[in-house]
Structure 1
Amino acid sequence: MSNKNVMASLMLALGLLLAGAGMTGAQSVGVCYGRNGNNLPSQAEVIELFKANNIGRMRIYDPDQATLQALRGSNIELILGVLNDNLQALTDASTASNWVQNNVVAFSSDVKIKYIAVGNEVPPGDAKAPYVLPAMQNIQNALTSANLQGQIKVSTAVDTGLLGVSYPPSNGAFSDTASQFIGPIISFLVNNGSPLLANIYPYFSYTQNMQSIDLAYALFTSPGVVVTDGAYQYQNLFDALVDSLYSALERAGGSSLAIVVSESGWPSEGGTAASLGNAGTYYANLISHVKQGTPKKAGQAIEAYLFAMFDENLKAAGVEQHFGLFTPSKQLKYQISFP
């Protein structure tokens, strides 16, 4: 082969490598698919809508069989949820084994299940809190028995309410009550190489502390640095919240853990600062921002899931009904596009 052809081959290989790297970054954004509405499209239509909009990752909150069937062969990566109401039952090993057989093994050949979220935002003082870790352990053991432990990671989804200190981000720490709950879970995640799933909502942080937080800081539109924290500079609240959680993990023995943002969104109506304009700005900026990483994790693309696919009219009245990217008639509400 001539030098010219060798060079051409090298350039082609490099191009393919870079394209692959770009594709990995593009896949850092997914969308949460909740079904708490009585006017939503069928599960098969929803999967087609994901594919038509190049959305390569999905989170669902329970092992809905019609959704799992529709995902077969789609190549969409999935966070599969365990409902909080099912946690106690899964503290029984045989029940957990059956759950994994019916909802994971039965689909593992052609559905790309990436994580299992065992519970969502279970408060540390809740009656269900003691069931989270045993359920995680039983699900993990069942996956290992099925030889899927390397393919699927077990975690739980938390919110930033576990933080006793969140400002500045480098001082992030779990509250005493939360530490007793999350400490053993962090050990489990470290031992199994699983990430922590975290629901990150600048919207709620802003509306609960408007006297101290500027709207632009919450919407990624601040023209300059807002918070300087040692070597780190923050221009948006999303990064500050994620890094506060990273700092808390470091203090709790979880410095090796990655955070997957399992929910983040902004409502289009129903409350303070909830408008189509603000929501569209937030989602568009979040999509473009996550590939950059946070100041503590610069250059490390954040795997993030936008909340949510649809407005869900059976949720509590107010903002909870208005987080959808799409209307129930499958129309995109905002001028945004997925990579």
Structure 2
Amino acid sequence: MWILDAVASNRIGINYGRLGNNLPSPTRSIELLQTMNAGRVRLYDADHEILKLLSGKNIDITITVANDEISGIAANQHLANQWVYEHIITHYPNTRTRFVLVGHEVFSSISTYQDLQIARDLVRAMKRIKSAVKAQGIRNIKVGTPLAMDMMEMTSPPSYGSFKPEIRELMLPLLRYINGTKSFMFLNVYPYLTWFDSQVVNQTGISLDFALLRTRNESYTDPQTGLVYKNLLDQMLDSVVYAMAKLGYDDVNLAISETGWPHQGGSGATRKNAAVYNKNLIRKMSMVPSIGTPARPGAVIPTFIYTLYDEDQKYGSGTERRWGLLNSDGSPVYHVNITWTGKRYD
């Protein structure tokens, strides 16, 4: 039987996306991750070349089942077994796979019949992947799925947090599964986007310092709970905590599958702000003992920074392609230490 270290730790991870036509090779990319002392890496697929390159490295690995594979796996345990064998067992245990994420933001698009079917098949696919992993005697790989904050109907104040009505029937079996397997609710959570919307769209004026995790003298008190918030990230995380509790699940673990700050392309998107956000994020999430959030004090929240490189082939707004920690030549866009050394950044 193969037993792994605990998956919950304070080691900071980095998302390794490859939607660019000018990016360093996988070999060079793994070397850069090691140089940066990244504790975790998240892949948006389960690429064999990259998994081979990660063999023997002191990096915990998260791999992904593509959205278009979900319904097939949900319907057929043999397909799940085959996927696990090809992408985990053939590289195991020399590659330190810790998380398998099934899909990507599956609940964000359920307007078509096909998308809705994928969303309905999600938990069944997760169960089949987990069953295939357990059948190999592996007990410490967690299965989850990353969800975007657009699943929320309300996030402020945090105690008012609630999921959109149209996804609550989908959320219940997911929460039941995550809770039952002691996995994590993986969140793609971006204070930048909430801050940007507050400035440009809603004119509510969330302060930049609050969004950048600068804890100085500013705070917000939840009128219902009395909990005091010193940054926007904690507010957003705790809104999910309260939304889950409203559905009867008040102790589901949280993980951050994506967070970061763009360094170019829009209001507030500067190298300085990106450096401040990520340095403060690393400091907060690397603390021992863990800080957690006001509603979850002391909780360990596995965290992945978005992203290793700027990706010039991504669609979307100007900022969409400008979240990278590194330039295409491997040089840093701005200086940031993935391993926190005790210095306070604010």
TM-score (structure 1 length as normaliser): 0.89
The one-letter code sitting in structure 1 at the alignment partner of 2:305 is: L
Structure 2: distance between partners of 1:301 and 1:101: 30
**1:198-237 correspondence runs (5 A):** 198-210=187-199, 211-212=203-204, 213-221=206-214, 223-229=216-222, 230-237=225-232
Between 199-208 and 88-97, report the one with greater CA deviation.
88-97
Cα deviation per residue 1:221-244 (whole Å; 9 max; x = unaligned)? 253243101331111100100111
Partner of 1:122: 106
Q: Does the 8 Å contact 2:13/2:42 carry over to 1?
A: yes
The DSSP-based 3-state class of the residue aligned with 1:259 is strand
User: How many residues matched?
Assistant: 314
**1:28-39 correspondence runs (5 A):** 28-39=11-22
Residue 253 of structure 1: how far off its partner (Å): 2.6
Cα deviation per residue 1:195-241 (whole Å; 9 max; x = unaligned)? 11111100111111222212221111253243101331111100100
The one-letter code sitting in structure 2 at the alignment partner of 1:95 is: L
**2:78 matched to 1:94?**
yes
**2:173 matched to 1:184?**
yes
The DSSP-based 3-state class of the residue aligned with 1:87 is helix
Q: Choose from 126, 132, 150 the match for 1:136.
A: 126
Cα deviation per residue 1:87-137 (whole Å; 9 max; x = unaligned)? 222222211110001001111211111111101111262513122112111
Partner of 2:332: 332
Partner of 2:5: none
Q: Does the 8 Å contact 2:182/2:253 carry over to 1?
A: no
Partner of 2:54: 71
Q: Choose from 90, 93, 108 the match for 1:106.
A: 90
**1:226-305 correspondence runs (5 A):** 226-229=219-222, 230-290=225-285, 291=287, 292-305=291-304
**Unaligned residue ranges in structure 1 (runs of 5+):** 1-23
RMSD of aligned alpha carbons: 1.5
Structure 2: distance between partners of 1:135 and 1:297: 29
The one-letter code sitting in structure 1 at the alignment partner of 2:314 is: K
**Unaligned residue ranges in structure 2 (runs of 5+):** 1-7, 340-346
Q: Does the 8 Å contact 2:309/2:325 carry over to 1?
A: yes
Structure 2: distance between partners of 1:222 and 1:194: 30
Structure 2: distance between partners of 1:42 and 1:254: 43
Q: Does the 8 Å contact 1:79/1:114 carry over to 2?
A: yes
The DSSP-based 3-state class of the residue aligned with 1:209 is helix
Cα deviation per residue 1:291-326 (whole Å; 9 max; x = unaligned)? 322111223342210000000111125111101001
Q: Does the 8 Å contact 1:28/1:302 carry over to 2?
A: no
Identity of aligned residues (%): 31
Q: Does the 8 Å contact 1:199/1:264 carry over to 2?
A: yes
Structure 2: distance between partners of 1:90 and 1:198: 23
Structure 1: distance between partners of 2:11 and 2:247: 26
Structure 2: distance between partners of 1:151 and 1:301: 17
Q: Choose from 22, 27, 32 the match for 1:44.
A: 27
Structure 2: distance between partners of 1:187 and 1:236: 30
Rg larger for: 1
The one-letter code sitting in structure 1 at the alignment partner of 2:255 is: V
Q: Choose from 147, 151, 161 the match for 1:162.
A: 151
Structure 2: distance between partners of 1:154 and 1:253: 21
